[in-house]
Amino acid sequence: MSNSFAFKPVCFFVSLFLAFTACEQKSVPDSTTTLSDYFSSAEASPKSGGVRLIPIKTPKGEFKVWTKRFGNNPKIKVLLLHGGPACTHEYFESFESFLPQEGIEFIYYDQLGSAYSDQPADTSLWNLPRFVEEVEQVRQALGLNKDNFYLLGHSWGGILAMQYALKYQQNLKGLIVSNMMASCPKYGAYADNVLSKQMDPKVLKEVQDLEAKGQYTAPRYMELLIPNFYEKHILRKPSAEWPDAVNRTFAKVNSTIYVSMQGPSEFGISGKLEKWDVSADLPKIKTPTLVIGSSHDTMDPEYMKWMSTQFPNSQFVLCPNGGHMSMWDDQEHYFPGLLAFLKQK
């Protein structure tokens, strides 16, 4: 859950191997899955390219959520939990340039209320326990289990992943917490005491004045934040150069859900997640865990490093050049660290 997902501004990879004609015999590196197996499909006709709309039951009735499987590996299946809340799967498209060539299956998933999934208007649905149960229903529908199920949560998705693991870790083979702290109060304090102090005092004062007036959607608010906050801590490139996948994600954010759970401010949390803190519960998660942090993140990198010492079976990867979306601005560290974790026996 990042302040990035309040911002609403505003590829598919070409080929895996040049020698694709030999795919029947050639094995994917470091995997027992052949290319023909990886690209196999058990879908009934007409084939959908891996897309499935999964029905989920909620206290307010049944809805459908959108998923898309990429590849097939019986031992490594990574379900991706996007940030926000209420962002979209699209900013994970950078994974297509790294995971398929290693034979790793991954599954895009728009959570209820996001992008291609149903978007009910009942605000009582937007709470963490219900989202946890949604993930469990998606797991069951996709046939994921303790022998193959890796759960990767980025930002708000990291909150959801940790909360899921605290209840359902018996279903997991591995957990990846990407760019998220285990404490919203500590996250808010880091934004207030560290990140805000790095801004030009005049810029910070104008931002705070706009927030005091409740003018979060004013054009000037984003005019200030984009160069002074987003380009420094969210995705460390000029916003004009941000990837299309990221812009498509931000263009689809469901602001009703975001504000309900995170709150409207860039410096602190005021929504339903304001007091969420599982720092003391991390030792209960015995599942092999990878924590990924970034030196220029909106999240405190030192806290995320500390987090990795609290899980009993954990590793830590630091992206020294990255911001909150280090799968884009520090791919040199993000993906080697992730792949090494996924390919462990």
Q: pTM of the full predicted structure? A: 0.89
Q: Which residue has the higher pLDDT, 156 or 31?
A: 156
Q: Residue 42 has what pLDDT?
A: 74
Q: Which of 140, 220, 204, 153 is nearest to 181 (CA)?
A: 153
* Residue-averaged pLDDT of the chain: 89
Reply yes or no on whether the pLDDT at 27 is more than 50: no
Q: Residue 264 has what pLDDT?
A: 85
Say how far apart CA 314 and CA 197 lie, in whole Å.
32
Reply yes or no on whether the pLDDT at 137 is more than 90: yes
Say how far apart CA 179 and CA 304 lie, in whole Å.
8
Least confident of 24-38, 94-108, 231-245, 266-280: 24-38
pLDDT category of residue 9 using cuts at 50, 70 and 90: very low
The two tokens of residue 201 are 């005092």
Say how far apart CA 281 and CA 163 lie, in whole Å.
10
pLDDT category of residue 29 using cuts at 50, 70 and 90: very low
Reply yes or no on whether the pLDDT at 265 is more than 60: yes
Q: End-to-end CA distance of the chain: give it in Å, rounded.
A: 30
DSSP 301: H
pLDDT tens digits, one per residue of 53-112: 999 999 999 999 999 999 999 999 999 999 999 999 999 999 999 999 999 999 999 999
Q: Residue 253 has what pLDDT?
A: 94
Residue numbers annotated as active site:
155, 297, 324
* Ordered DSSP codes for 43-74: PPSSP-TTEEEEEEEETTEEEEEEEEEES--S
Q: Residue 310 has what pLDDT?
A: 98
Q: Which of 30, 72, 74 is nearest to 49 (CA)?
A: 72
pLDDT category of residue 32 using cuts at 50, 70 and 90: low
What 3-state DSSP class applies to 150?
Answer: strand
**Strands, sheet with 61-70, edge to edge from the N-terminal-most edge strand:** 51-58, 61-70, 105-110, 77-81, 149-154, 174-178, 289-294, 314-319
Radius of gyration of the chain (CA): 20
pLDDT category of residue 35 using cuts at 50, 70 and 90: confident
Reply yes or no on whether the pLDDT at 21 is more than 80: no
* Ordered DSSP codes for 248-298: HHHHT--HHHHHHHT-S-SSS--STTTT-B-GGGGGG--S-EEEEEETT-S
Reply yes or no on whether the pLDDT at 179 is more than 50: yes
Reply yes or no on whether the pLDDT at 294 is more than 70: yes
Reply yes or no on whether the pLDDT at 345 is more than 80: no
pLDDT tens digits, one per residue of 297-340: 999 999 999 999 999 999 999 999 999 999 999 999 999 999 99
Q: Which of 150, 127, 140, 3 is nearest to 59 (CA)?
A: 127
Please list the alpha-helical segments (H only) found in 123-254: 128-142, 156-168, 184-190, 201-212, 219-225, 244-251
Q: Which residue has the higher pLDDT, 210 or 21?
A: 210
Q: Which residues pair with 165 in a beta bridge?
A: none
Least confident of 14-28, 73-87, 249-263: 14-28
